[in-house]
């Protein structure tokens, strides 16, 4: 939902056919370099995020929720603030650096939790739909169509309003909205895979459909799943921020970039950093997961190797 | 266009509509406890709750409740908004033009901008411009709408003060709505000042809403063009001495149309969903802004109305896109 949900389209672009000529003028070396740049960028951002999340209790100078009304809206050090609060404080005097670091925990948990669950629900649906085709496919894909005709953001907000706030509920809402993404893409891939010789061979030696799905098709879907998962993590982090921004995300006591952005917006004209810093953290994270996804896609999908050359 | 294709599409749209009513019904009735309790104000008596239950058809067997609810929905009767004390459907329809104007403006921006940037990035390939567009494409895709909105407010609204950041029109131009689409209204009234004000108010929210879709369109157009510029007949045209600009533009406008149409159909749902947050951030008086308030007040009649109207908009768009696609691509028509 990138949102927009950002609505990123995880479908690989169709392979260019016969892209000789000008496009291949580039050497393979520069091609590799560029593909690696995306991947390396994504991996580095992902690692930093995970480290921040795991080490937050040791890295943070203050309790993220400790209020200090004698030191509210302090600027970051480079704007004349004190080293005690390197990135300044918010309107309740809470240390922004500590809150930013603790928020990365929510981001990581939502990214991993929601993505895993969405994949676990969406993948079997896609497998069954694509493998059996016919009526099963029609029914399942109609369900997916209907599901998708409610705008994702609206559905997520509606679910949260009904479920109530909380980390697990955020994850549940994102999963309920986004499992369709996996189902759709996996189905498309299975439709193509099931016609290949190795699947036909398995059918010929009498393997049952579910065994073929689990033992022949699923391993071949792993590269696609990895790519989808990284892109989904970006979406999940964005949706969590959005929900927390409107007050329908994690509990108020848990720091989250979304709620920090909302708080910072309240005193934007007094101190721009209160809103900008969590926004920056969110943007870097989301872009990082996207780079990871795109880098992996270019690396794992041989059809795209040539396209990356451009 | 064959009648069969048309009927199939109509059937699909109706099926989706039916599905949405089921979903909206299930989400609001079945998941947690008793909606009457959720709707009741704090300290309501048993009698009050019973009254709410009767008013919203929450008594009797579940299938009967569903039938009654669908019958009401078909006639546009969602009940009275608890918060505004007006007919929910009237409140929604009054605000629908504002949301549609914003969404359509964003759609035009996204498609026109996406095609333009796509063409330029292929025309000037292997220059800094291409790298810049690729970077912006990744950013546009990854960063959620509402973050773009907040960034625009900070830079163009608060720091540079170039453009207004809230509402649809400057207060001195307020007028009784004719169509509700202010761009059209101000033109009909031949009021250039008001028209300029509406346009200025529209730019930032529409741009924030458009950016992710713009990035998607840009990538599709670019990928299509990159394949095209090496095809034989294009090479042929180049040898005949046609300019690169002419080749690419001709090619782009002709061949990027079909993939872009489907893409826009798929992505329009995201765009419409994006209005919820964008309208809240820019104080845009449409349905999106209403949505968050409706949830805060637990205004179930209004929420149901909003969900159904949003879904109908998306389904209708997809239906029209399917028809447009069949019109553009004869292969689909007879498949």
Per-residue pLDDT, B113 = 92
Nearest-by-Cβ selection for B145 from A3, A23, A143: A3
Which of A118-132, A220-234, A254-268, B67-81 is predicted least confidently?
B67-81
Rounded Cα gap, residues B208 and B149, in angstroms: 5
Q: How confident is the model at residue B30 (pLDDT cuts 50, 70, 90)?
A: low
A6–chain B Cβ distance below 8 A for any pair = yes
Q: Which structure tokens are listed for A61?
A: 């100078």
Per-residue pLDDT, A19 = 42
How many structural domains comprise chain B? 1
pLDDT at A176 over 50: yes
Domain membership flag for residue B322: yes
Rounded Cα gap, residues B162 and B168, in angstroms: 15
pLDDT in tens, A230-255: 999 999 999 999 999 988 888 888 89
Contact between A173 and A231 under an 8 Å Cβ cutoff? The reply is no
Angle between helices A167-193 and A134-148 (to 10 degrees): 140
Per-residue pLDDT, A121 = 95
Per-residue pLDDT, B211 = 93
pLDDT at A103 over 50: yes
Which of the pair, B86 or A306, is modelled with greater confidence?
B86
Contact between A92 and A69 under an 8 Å Cβ cutoff? The reply is yes
How many interchain CB pairs under 8 A, A with B?
194
Rounded Cα gap, residues A243 and B156, in angstroms: 25
Q: What is the pTM of this model?
A: 0.83
Angle between helices A96-132 and A134-148 (to 10 degrees): 150
pLDDT at B46 over 80: no
Which of A263, A153, A188 has the alpha carbon at shortest distance from B295? A153
Local structure of A70: helix, strand or coil? coil
Neighbours of A239 (CB within 10 A): 30
Local structure of A3: helix, strand or coil? strand
Query: How would you class A77 by CB atoms within 10 Å of its CB: exposed for 0-12, middle for 13-18, buried for 19 or more?
Result: middle
What is the average pLDDT value for chain B, to the nearest integer? 80
Domain membership flag for residue A7: no
- Smallest CA–CA distance, residue A55 to chain B, in Å, is 26
Angle at alpha carbon of residue A118, lines to A278 and A104, rounded to 5°: 20
User: Could you give the percent of chain B with pLDDT greater than 70?
Assistant: 89
- Within 8 A by CB and 6+ apart from B278, the residues are B102, B145, B146, B149, B205, B208, B209, B284, B288
Domain membership flag for residue B106: yes
ipTM score here? 0.81
Q: Residue window 141-200, chain A: list those with CB within 8 Å of chain B.
A: 142-143, 145-154, 157-159, 161-163
pLDDT in tens, B275-318: 999 999 998 999 988 888 888 777 777 888 888 888 888 888 88
User: Could you give the percent of chain B with pLDDT greater than 90?
Assistant: 11
Domain membership flag for residue B166: yes
Task: State whether B292 and A157 contact (CB < 8 Å).
Answer: yes
Highest mean pLDDT among A122-126, B155-159, B243-247: A122-126
Domain membership flag for residue B293: no
Which of the pair, A142 or A25, is modelled with greater confidence?
A142
Contact between A127 and A218 under an 8 Å Cβ cutoff? The reply is yes
Per-residue pLDDT, B28 = 66
Per-residue pLDDT, B325 = 74
- Smallest CA–CA distance, residue A286 to chain B, in Å, is 6
Angle at alpha carbon of residue A166, lines to A162 and A167, rounded to 5°: 125
Q: Which structure tokens are listed for B273?
A: 């969903």
Rounded Cα gap, residues B308 and B301, in angstroms: 11
Mean pLDDT over B64-81 rounds to 77
Domain membership flag for residue A25: no
pLDDT at A307 over 50: no
Q: Which structure tokens are listed for A193?
A: 């895979």
Task: State whether A150 and B213 contact (CB < 8 Å).
Answer: no
Return the residue in B34, B110, B122, B141 with the most chain A beta carbons within 10 A, the one to mutate for interface testing: B141
How many structural domains comprise chain A? 1
Neighbours of A167 (CB within 10 A): 18
Task: State whether A310 and B303 contact (CB < 8 Å).
Answer: no
Highest mean pLDDT among A191-200, B33-42, B233-242: A191-200
Mean pLDDT over A195-213 rounds to 90
Domain membership flag for residue B131: yes
Rg value, chain A, Cα: 22
Highest mean pLDDT among A37-41, A116-120, A209-213, B155-159: A116-120
Domain membership flag for residue B57: no
pLDDT at B130 over 60: yes
Largest CA distance in chain B: 85
Contact between A153 and A3 under an 8 Å Cβ cutoff? The reply is yes
Strand partners, B10: none
Rounded Cα gap, residues A28 and A35, in angstroms: 11
CATH of the domain at A123: 1.10.3720.10
Which of the pair, A28 or A20, is modelled with greater confidence?
A28
Mean pLDDT over A98-105 rounds to 91
Domain membership flag for residue A9: no
Domain membership flag for residue A8: no
pLDDT at A1 over 70: no
Q: How confident is the model at residue B333 (pLDDT cuts 50, 70, 90)?
A: low
pLDDT in tens, B219-242: 888 888 887 777 777 777 777 777
Mean pLDDT over B140-166 rounds to 85
- Chain B residues with CB under 8 Å of A260 CB are none
Domain membership flag for residue A21: no
Per-residue pLDDT, A308 = 42
Which of B56, B101, B113, B7 has the alpha carbon at shortest distance from B304? B56
Mean pLDDT over B186-213 rounds to 87
Q: How confident is the model at residue A17 (pLDDT cuts 50, 70, 90)?
A: very low
Local structure of B276: helix, strand or coil? helix
Q: Which structure tokens are listed for B237?
A: 């045209």
A17–chain B Cβ distance below 8 A for any pair = yes
Per-residue pLDDT, A281 = 94
* Domain assignment of residue A233, given as a range: 35-304
Find where tokens 């959005």 sit. Answer: A242
- Smallest CA–CA distance, residue A227 to chain B, in Å, is 14
Rounded Cα gap, residues A243 and B295, in angstroms: 12
Largest CA distance in chain A: 77
Rounded Cα gap, residues A138 and A130, in angstroms: 10
pLDDT at A58 over 80: yes
* Domain assignment of residue B150, given as a range: 95-286+311-329
Q: How confident is the model at residue A44 (pLDDT cuts 50, 70, 90)?
A: very high
- Smallest CA–CA distance, residue A231 to chain B, in Å, is 9
- Chain B residues with CB under 8 Å of A146 CB are 15-16, 19-20, 23
Catalogue the long-range contacts made by B228-235 (C-beta closer than 8 Å, 24 or more residues apart). B228/B255, B229/A22, B229/B122, B230/A16, B230/A18, B230/A19, B230/A20, B230/A21, B230/A22, B230/A23, B235/A21
- Chain A residues with CB under 8 Å of B274 CB are 3-5, 151, 153
Which of A211, A206, A286 has the alpha carbon at shortest distance from A6? A286
DSSP-derived secondary structure letter, B82:
T
Kindly state the helix (H) or strand (E) to which residue A57 belongs, with its residue range. Answer: helix A28-59
A276–chain B Cβ distance below 8 A for any pair = yes
pLDDT at B254 over 90: no
pLDDT in tens, B131-144: 888 888 888 888 88
Domain membership flag for residue B167: yes
pLDDT at B47 over 80: no
pLDDT at A8 over 50: no
Rounded Cα gap, residues B106 and B204, in angstroms: 10
CATH of the domain at B245: 1.10.3720.10
Domain membership flag for residue A16: no
- Smallest CA–CA distance, residue B16 to chain A, in Å, is 5
Domain membership flag for residue A309: no
Nearest-by-Cβ selection for B144 from A5, A163, A272: A5
Catalogue the long-range contacts made by A191-198 (C-beta closer than 8 Å, 24 or more residues apart). A191/A130, A191/A133, A193/A130, A193/A217, A193/A220, A193/A221, A194/A130, A194/A131
Task: State whether B276 and A154 contact (CB < 8 Å).
Answer: yes
- Smallest CA–CA distance, residue B192 to chain A, in Å, is 33
């Amino acid at each position: 939902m990138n949102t927009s949900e950002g609505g990123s389209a995880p479908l690989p672009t169709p392979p260019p056919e016969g892209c000789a000529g000008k496009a291949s003028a580039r050497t393979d070396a520069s091609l590799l370099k560029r593909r690696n740049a995306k991947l390396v960028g994504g991996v580095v951002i992902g690692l930093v995020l995970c480290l921040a999340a795991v080490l937050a209790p040791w890295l943070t100078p203050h309790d993220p929720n400790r209020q200090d009304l004698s030191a509210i809206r302090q600027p970051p050090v480079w704007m004349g603030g004190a080293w005690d609060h390197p990135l300044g404080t918010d309107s309740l005097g809470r240390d922004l650096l500590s809150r930013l670091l603790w928020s990365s925990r929510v981001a990581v948990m939502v990214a991993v939790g929601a993505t895993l669950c969405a994949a676990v629900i969406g993948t079997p649906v896609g497998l069954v739909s694509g493998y059996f085709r016919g009526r099963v496919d029609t029914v399942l894909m109609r369900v997916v169509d209907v599901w998708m005709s409610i705008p994702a953001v609206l559905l997520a907000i509606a679910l949260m309003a009904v479920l109530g706030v909380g980390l697990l509920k955020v994850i549940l809402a994102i999963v309920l909205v986004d499992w369709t993404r996996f189902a759709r893409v996996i189905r498309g891939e299975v439709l193509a895979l099931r016609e290949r010789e190795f699947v036909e061979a398995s059918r010929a030696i009498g393997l049952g459909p579910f065994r073929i799905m689990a033992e022949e098709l699923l391993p071949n879907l792993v590269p696609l799943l990895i790519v989808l998962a990284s892109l989904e993590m970006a979406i999940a982090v964005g949706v969590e921020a959005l929900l927390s921004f409107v007050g329908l995300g994690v509990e108020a006591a848990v720091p989250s970039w979304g709620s920090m952005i909302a708080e910072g917006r309240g005193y934007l004209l007094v101190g721009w950093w209160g809103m900008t810093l969590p926004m920056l953290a969110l943007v870097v994270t989301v872009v990082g997961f996207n780079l990871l996804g795109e880098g992996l896609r270019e690396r794992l999908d041989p059809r795209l190797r040539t396209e990356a050359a451009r | 266009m064959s009648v069969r294709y048309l009927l199939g599409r109509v059937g699909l749209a109706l099926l989706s509509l039916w599905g949405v009513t089921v979903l909206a019904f299930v989400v609001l009735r079945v998941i947690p406890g008793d909606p009457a309790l959720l709707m009741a104000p704090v300290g309501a008596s048993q009698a009050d709750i019973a009254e709410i239950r009767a008013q919203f058809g929450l008594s009797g067997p579940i299938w009967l409740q569903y039938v009654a609810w669908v019958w009401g929905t078909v006639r546009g009767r969602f009940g009275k908004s608890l918060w505004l004390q007006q007919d929910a459907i009237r409140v929604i329809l009054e605000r629908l033009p504002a949301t549609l104007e914003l969404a359509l403006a964003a759609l035009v921006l996204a498609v026109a901008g996406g095609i333009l940037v796509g063409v330029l990035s292929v025309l000037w390939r292997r220059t800094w411009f291409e790298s810049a567009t690729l970077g912006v494409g990744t950013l546009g895709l990854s960063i959620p709408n509402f973050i773009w909105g907040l960034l625009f407010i900070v830079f163009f609204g608060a720091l540079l003060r170039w453009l207004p950041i809230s509402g649809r029109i400057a207060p001195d131009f307020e007028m009784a709505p004719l169509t509700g689409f202010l761009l059209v209204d101000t033109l009909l009234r031949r009021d250039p000042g008001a028209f300029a004000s509406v346009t200025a108010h529209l730019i930032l929210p529409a741009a924030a809403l458009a950016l992710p879709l713009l990035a998607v369109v840009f990538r599709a157009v670019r990928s299509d063009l990159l394949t095209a510029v090496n095809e034989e007949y294009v090479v042929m045209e180049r040898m005949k001495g046609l300019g690169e600009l002419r080749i690419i533009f001709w090619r782009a406008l002709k061949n990027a149309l079909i993939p872009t149409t489907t893409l826009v159909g798929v992505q329009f749902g995201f765009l419409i969903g994006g209005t919820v947050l964008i309208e809240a951030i820019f104080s845009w008086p449409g349905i999106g802004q209403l949505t968050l308030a409706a949830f805060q007040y637990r205004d179930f009649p209004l929420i149901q109305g909003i969900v159904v109207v949003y879904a109908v908009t998306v389904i209708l768009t997809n239906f029209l896109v399917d028809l447009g696609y069949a019109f553009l691509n004869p292969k689909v028509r007879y498949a």
